[in-house]
Amino acid sequence: MREISLGDWEGHPFASIKRRHPNAYRLRGEQIADYRPMLTVTYVGVIRALICRLLGVPLENLFAIGQSYGTLTIVEKRPDGCVSGR
């Protein structure tokens, strides 16, 4: 597993970085914003919250998402911009 260091950009949304530092973003940020693949090892609640966010579902529906403990969840952003999971 490899982590990407964003330096001064750490914790800032890419839209903000692109607006405040357009040249630096063009040189480095475009490839970081599209970086794939990413592996996240975390608790099932975090995965459920991420799925809610990606699908635009209210967080109140967190426990309606069928997700077992100790499983592998794959979330992909398709070329058409849609998010799919398995």
The answer, as to whether pTM is greater than 0.95, is: no
pLDDT attached to residue 34:
57
The string of pLDDT tens digits covering residues 15-62 is: 888 898 888 877 775 666 555 566 777 888 888 888 888 888 899 988
Are 48 and 67 a contacting pair, CB within 8 Å? yes
What are the domain boundaries of the chain? 6-35, 44-85
| Residue 4: pLDDT over 80 | no
